[in-house]
Chains A and B, each alone.
Chain A
Amino acid sequence: MWNNVGQSLEESMDRVVNKIAQLLPAILAFVLALLLSALIGWLLALLVRRVLTAMKFDRRVSSGSTSIAEWSPNHTPTSLVSRSVFWGCIVIGILIGLTAFDASYDSSLAPYILAYVPKVVGAIVLLFVGSIVARFLSRSVLIGAVNMKLQYASLLATGVKWLVLVLTTAMVLDHLAIGGLIVDLAFGILFGGIVLALALAVGLGSRDLVSRSLEREVNRPLEQPLEEKLHHF
């Protein structure tokens, strides 16, 4: 019996060693692909940066109030584009590197994981963009509402932020094909619920509050003469 056990262990070890031996060239190929793509990406990013600087890209793109600079104020549009080129090359390098595993690793799991990687990358991009949009819109609503003297400015901004984040999360889950119909249903119910709750709150619960608020708005011009004495410009 011990002989059988020993033989089985030896066979298992052989299989593990074989797999590792098959995997090592793939790892090497992966690292090589990554290094090469990083090098190409760096060169391309450098080229793009120089071309865009020569074209005065920052100046051209910064026109208008909804420019790239508004969404990502810490970086110039040129640096954003060149960085995107660099990281795009890195992502392509990773995908190419992963095909080496595909050739060397004959498990049925590999194709599935490989097919899933682009979705994960897309989901990360979605999440990233969604969080930036949520922050930007939330801040826009907050400042706009404060300047309009709305007492519930903070609540409004938080609502917008979470609305965008929830929407982003639903999109990410849908993109990753996690949850299937459940996400769609849950999201529909959640959104529908929020809208219904707001409608009921405004229509029934806060009827007096809304009417008082509207009355205040209607009566506001009567206060104007006092402020008319001040002219800002």
Chain B
Amino acid sequence: MANLEAAQETRPSGDTAGSADVLIGVPAPTQGTLLHERVADIRDEFRSTHPSIRCVVAYPGIEGTGELSTLSEPAGELGSLRAVEYTLSHGAASTVPWLGLAPAYARLADLAIQMGAGACAILSPDLAAFDVHSITLLLEPLMDGRAELTMPLYAPSKFEGLLNSGILYPLSRALYGRRVRYPLGPDFGVTTSLLTRLGRRRARGTEVEDDQAAIWPATEAALSDSIVAQVHLDGRHGAQNEGLDLPTVLGLLVGSIFNDAERNPVVWQRVRGSQAGLTLGATVDRIDPGAKSAGALDVRSMLEAFNLGSRNLQQVWALVLPPVTLLEIKRLGRLTPEQFRIPDALWARIIYDFALAYRLRTLSRTHLLGALTPLYLGWVASYAQEIANLDAFAAEQRVEKLAKVYEDEKPYFVSRWRWPDRFNP
């Protein structure tokens, strides 16, 4: 925290013309009253730890839902922490409640520029990371110039964030060569200039369907060659799947990463391997609630979904996957639940083939991503059984191994991307 102060003191005096030094932004609708309570809770602590920092917390109010309210201390007072509400149109809120969209980032970037804030911390609307320690960790590397983007490193948990572990992290790492464990956030720190870039992300796209597409801070940082650091955060987000079904979220998140791959082939085709990057903060040890009862984990329903897909979706998968992969899937369908394991190389190739089909529009993209769901559930069943008796650290190593296989299989993806019509048995 002392570093944050020191960095602030070295900033040019012209910056004091603005009304804030840092901006904490919530990009998706949150409970205003809860946020006001949290601001009141940490205000004194913030003032004591950062007496020379002026901070504004901006949270969205959806247009037409009520009066704008402001909980404020006098603007410009050092050590102040103010909460302001900004308007967000209905279309700018994501289907996934914790996901920020480009319009929200653009609004927050505008606010940061208006206030003269050079660094921003973007927090999940559940406010799990809304504490002085986490905010300092996210902002400190930005203020002292060590990084332009700080991404979170949550305490490892075996059975959480499986979509991230199985597809998003390894694919993002293999494509852009940055080992960012949580490439989508939802809590991250970012410089105002990079946040502006995230807000403009939609305008550079080719399709309006991107309105609901997830914005990938880590990808944007890789594209702009920005320095990325990862910081260990203690915040624990609760179960994030209320009211959401898996195919919808899988389609949204995986579709958006495929979309990014489609946009930037020149960038990712040149990347080989991956770099670890800067990691800050102390590792957070946490007792994994799922670890003790892991042996009782029931994966039957997921295997049923996989087998059902294997029986019914062969014609659809045949449009996407090569014959040898289809044979492997059929073979997997005959295994007993205890024997069921999807090899990492096969899984990586499946994802790469789906990414290619997404680009080639082999079939409707909605159908394509829908057809991926049973395969993903099969992978989850396989992975969950494999790590059932491992501790959280060993499970994390298992994810790293999978990510390495994604990197090893990348030449296959590059080759298929460049020559999609070439014979592929």
Contacts and interface: CB of A to CB of B under 8 A. Distances in A.
A154 interface: yes
Contact of B367 (A60, A67, A143): A143
Q: How large is the interface on B (under 10, 10 to 19, 20 to 34, 35 or more residues)?
A: 35 or more
Interface of A: 58-60, 62-65, 67, 69-71, 73-74, 136, 139-140, 142-147, 149, 151, 153-154, 157, 223, 226-233
Nearest to A66: B366
Given A227-B298, A233-B241, A144 B370 contact: yes
B401 interface: no
Interface string B353-371: 0000000011111110011
12 contacts: A73-B362, A73-B364, A74-B361, A139-B316, A143-B367, A146-B308, A147-B374, A153-B312, A154-B311, A230-B159, A230-B162, A232-B241
B368 to A, nearest CB: 8
Interface stretch (B246-254, B267-275, B404-412): B246-254
Contact of B297 (A146, A151, A153, A226): A226
B206 interface: yes
Contacts of B206: 58-59
Contact of A60 (B160, B208, B298): B208
B159 A231 contact: yes
Contact of A70 (B96, B296, B298, B364): B364
Interface of B: 96, 159-164, 205-209, 211, 239-241, 246-247, 249-250, 253, 290, 293-294, 296-298, 301, 304-305, 308-309, 311-313, 316, 361-367, 370-371, 373-374, 380, 384
A226 B249 contact: no
Contacts, number: 114
6 nearest A-B residue pairs (beta carbon): A73-B361, A63-B208, A143-B370, A226-B298, A70-B364, A62-B207
Given A230-B384, A233-B253, 9 more contacts: A62-B208, A73-B363, A73-B364, A139-B363, A143-B367, A146-B374, A227-B301, A231-B159, A232-B380
A108 to B, nearest CB: 49
Contacts of B311: 154
B286 to A, nearest CB: 15
A153 B247 CA distance: 16
Contacts of A228: 239
Nearest to A64: B209
A232 B246 contact: yes
